[in-house]
Amino acid sequence: MTTIRTGKTLLIAAILAGSLFAVSGMASIQPAMAAKVADPTNHGDPKDASDPNMDIRNVHTEGNGKLVVEVFGQAGETVPPEPAEGQFGQVYVYAFTLADGSIWVLNAHWECHPESGCHPGSMVSDWHAEQVTLAKIDGQDCVTSVFDETTDVTVDGHKGSINVSNSAKIVKAQTAAFQLKIHPDTAPSEVDPDHLICVGYLLTEFDHT
């Protein structure tokens, strides 16, 4: 069970070429970099070593508020590996940066205790979505807040989607893994520029547009 959070939308700084993630003006503007599993431009090639479930075919909007990613494999079929006991593990995301600077992530992670991490018998969450903010902290590209959570998502066949109200144009998309440093349900819903918290840092980029 995920906790629904609300919070005012925070301004994200300019979107950087070649990277989904922009960092807020409260930190130095740096592209989010991570070791890539395969060449992100080699879409659909059988020789591409990337996971087809995280290999982006295209992204688009439908209607007045649905963000859609299509992959070559099956959306949502690849989930994070089980973390060691007491750890929080990883979160896998299909992420969208919109023209208004907001970032939405369709994601799944292990359901662990906020205080003590995972334990035997833990399970992977349902796919759900939030808005997030990001910044560079101690050289790592980090999620710094999580808010406006919604379970109004669809993960079926080649498509994953998030229903949001009056969404702006999608300008970047990415599939990635983040390493959680704290339990996501305890993440701040607003950014304190004087006390930035790294909820989770960018571990692997699978693909980007």
pLDDT tens, position by position, 127-160: 999 999 999 999 999 999 999 999 999 999 999 9
43, 34, 169: which is closest to 101 by C-alpha? 169
CB atoms within 10 A of CB 32: 22
Q: Give the type of residue at 127.
A: W
pLDDT tens, position by position, 26-39: 332 222 323 334 44
pLDDT, mean of residues 47-60: 84
CB 159 within 8 A of CB 153: no
Sorted by where each begins, the domain ranges of the chain are 52-208
pLDDT of residue 207: 95
CB-based contacts of 184, cutoff 8 Å, min separation 6 = 88, 91, 109, 146, 199, 200
Query: Cα 133 from chain centroid?
Result: 10
Annotate 159-190 with DSSP letters as a single string: EEEEE-TT---EEEEEEEEEEESS-GGGS-SS
pLDDT of residue 31: 29
What are 173's two structure tokens?
């998309």
pLDDT, mean of residues 101-107: 96
Three-state secondary-structure class, residue 74 = coil
pLDDT above 90 coverage of the chain, percent: 70
- pLDDT tops 50 at residue 47: no
| CA–CA dist 45, 43 (Å, integer) | 6
Of 149 and 22, the structure prediction assigns the larger pLDDT to 149
CB 37 within 8 A of CB 49: yes
DSSP code at position 198: -
pLDDT tens, position by position, 109-127: 999 999 999 998 899 999 9
What are 13's two structure tokens?
């700084």
Average pLDDT, the chain: 81
Q: Give the type of residue at 144.
A: T
pLDDT tens, position by position, 175-192: 999 999 999 999 999 999
pLDDT of residue 105: 98
pLDDT of residue 42: 52
pLDDT, mean of residues 90-112: 96
pTM exceeds 0.85, yes or no: no
pLDDT of residue 166: 75
